[in-house]
Every structure is written in C-alpha cells, then in structure tokens.
C-alpha cells in the first residue's frame, strides 16, 4: 500500500500521520510538498492536520487552492483514495471534494481532549476492520470542527450511509450537526474526519483503539 | 479600480463569534444589544479599468475563494 502525505505550510501533524501509516502498513509514505503539481503513483493520499496558512481567510481555504490540489482533485475523480484528518478534512470540504463546512466550534473554545467515536459505516477503506457501531476513544484538537451543511445535503449523507463516524455518548465537542465526526463522498473514496486517529495507535499513546482504522488500509 | 467586498454569514448559520461579541457588549454596559453577526471586509485593487469586466472578475474571485458560498453571502462594490 503506497501512500503520500501532503504537506502545506503550517501543517503540524504530518509526521504523526506518516509514522502511523508506516507503523501499521509497513510502507514508508512519501511526503508531497504543496507547491508540487503532480502526485507520485500511490494508492492513498492523506491530507493531515495542522494550521495550514495559519487558518487565514477560512480554515483550509488557502491550502485547498494550492497547486498540488489540482492533481489531487483530478486523481480523486478517477477513484484515488483520499483521507483528510482535522485541518485535512477542512481542506477537503474547501476543495469541494466533500460537502459541507467545518465552522467555528459552537462554544467558541478550542477543544483538545478525547472523544468517543462511533463507527457508523464499516464498509469503507478506513473502517473495514471495525465492527459497525463500535465505539472507540480518539483525540480531537480543533477550533473549527462544527460540521454544518444544508438540510438537503444532511438528508442525503444520512440516507446514503455517508456518515462514517459520529461522536458518541454525549462527547460531541463542537456542536456538529447530527454529531457528525467524519463523512465520505458518494463513491466512498474520499473520507474526511475531525478526530486524530493517528494519535491513538501505540501503547505510548495511552490506547490503541484506532489502530484497526489504519489496518483497514491493508485490506482496502 | 478598487473592489470592496463584504462577506457575511447566511441567515440561519450560527455565529458563535457574534454571540461572544454581544455578550462582551453587555459586560461593558451597553444595553439593548440584540443579535450580533460578524462578517469580513476586503479591499482588492484591480488593474482592470472596464467596470463590467471588473465586476465579472471580482464575482469569480468571490465564488472561487473569498467567500464559502455554502455558508456565506458576498456583496461587491466597485469604486
């Protein structure tokens, strides 16, 4: 499984993501600088978390228009798997690869804590090693994670089983609609999520709850 | 030519920053403050001298970058 991790100025979770990918899949991911115009041949592209461009204008707005995003969008349209985590999720919505917006947290606070994450759809490339309905612990760290979209889009996401992860047990940290923590595109090849599974895979992280998510990549 | 752009949240979109500002105004003793909505203001200098072409160009900028039209409206003024 060959993977690439995209690096924008201001991103700070790319190393954690690369270590997680390598630790579980055994293959070292390549890092791709935002100013490049062509992706290497890979099976998966990950847009990691952080604060690309200092969150100027809107979170993810500038990164979504970076040169490398043109190729990511073109390849995603042909079925390349794309995973966006935290700022990466914001970037994917700004790029139009996923619907909706991650707005300012409802309570205005930056949240940095563990939440309970429920796997709603275990048929995806990132959840196929999980039980449907399984609840795992996962850290979040964001100021803009309040998922919102229009009523029609929300209805479509729910009807098409495109909500991949939901905050469970009253741990919604940001006010997201329907407790949405992660969604996918229509074909299931693009997934975005606010929590940081890459930080819950080693015993030193405290728990290894999210390791099966990365193991799912091997089966996909 | 200069474009002045106002970006505001669409009606119904929650504005927690506006709420916080309303709260702070209350703390400062300003009475009678209703809902507060926060927006953004941009000034963009343009080389274009034709008004119609400039308007078209700025509209495209708003659609592609300046505003996120899922949750924001924009108003353009050319001066």
- Euclidean distance between CA atoms A5 and A8, whole angstroms: 10
CATH of the domain at A26: 3.40.50.880
Per-residue pLDDT band for A218 (boundaries 50, 70, 90) equals: very high
Alpha helices in A55-173 (DSSP H): 67-77, 87-94, 151-159
pLDDT of the residue at A219? 86
Overall pTM > 0.90: yes
Rounded CA separation A50/A40 (Å): 23
Domain of residue A109: give its range.
3-219
For A65, which of B14, B19, B65 is closest by C-beta distance? B65
pLDDT at A220 over 70: no
Interface predicted TM-score of the whole assembly (ipTM), two decimals: 0.85
| Residues 10-49, chain A, touching B (beta carbon < 8 A) | none
Find the mean pLDDT for residues A137-156. Answer: 97
Matching residue, tokens 């099966």: A212
**Contact criterion met (CB below 8 Å) for A175 and A107:** yes
Closest Cβ opposite residue A108 in set B17, B65, B66: B17
pLDDT digit string, tens, across residues A154-205: 999 999 999 999 999 999 999 999 999 999 999 999 999 999 999 999 999 9
φ/ψ (deg, to 5) at A181:
-110, -20
Q: In total, how many domains does chain A have?
A: 1
Q: Has A86 been annotated as catalytic?
A: yes
Catalytic residue, from A120, A138, A198, A210: name it: A198
The structure tokens 């799912």 sit at A216
Section A37-57 average pLDDT = 96
Q: Quick one: tokens of B2?
A: 């200069």
């Amino acid at each position: 499984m060959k993977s690439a991790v995209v690096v924008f100025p201001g991103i700070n979770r790319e190393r954690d993501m690369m270590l997680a990918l390598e630790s579980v899949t055994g293959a070292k991911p390549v890092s791709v600088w935002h100013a490049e115009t062509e992706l290497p041949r890979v099976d998966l592209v990950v847009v990691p978390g952080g604060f690309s461009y200092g969150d100027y204008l809107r979170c993810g707005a500038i990164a979504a228009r970076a040169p490398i995003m043109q190729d990511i969008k073109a390849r995603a349209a042909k079925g390349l798997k794309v995973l966006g985590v935290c700022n990466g999720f914001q970037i994917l919505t700004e790029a139009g690869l996923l619907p909706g917006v991650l707005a300012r947290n409802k309570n205005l606070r930056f949240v940095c804590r563990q939440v309970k994450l429920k796997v709603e759809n275990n048929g995806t490339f990132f959840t196929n090693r999980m039980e449907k309905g399984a609840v795992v612990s996962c850290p979040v760290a964001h100021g803009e994670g309040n998922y919102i979209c229009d009523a029609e889009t929300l209805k479509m996401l729910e009807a098409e089983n495109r909500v991949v992860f939901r905050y469970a047990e009253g741990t919604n940290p940001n006010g997201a609609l329907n407790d949405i923590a992660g969604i996918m595109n229509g074909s299931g090849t693009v997934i975005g999520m606010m929590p940081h599974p890459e930080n819950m895979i080693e015993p030193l992280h405290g728990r290894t709850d999210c390791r099966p998510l990365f193991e799912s990549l091997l089966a996909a | 030519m200069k474009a002045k752009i106002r970006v505001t949240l669409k009606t119904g979109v929650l504005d927690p920053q506006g709420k916080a500002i309303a709260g702070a105004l209350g703390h400062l003793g300003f009475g009678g403050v209703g809902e507060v909505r926060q927006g953004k203001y941009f000034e963009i200098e343009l080389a274009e001298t034709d008004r119609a072409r400039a308007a078209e160009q700025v509209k495209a900028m708003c659609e592609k970058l300046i505003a996120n039209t899922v949750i924001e409206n924009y108003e353009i003024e050319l001066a």
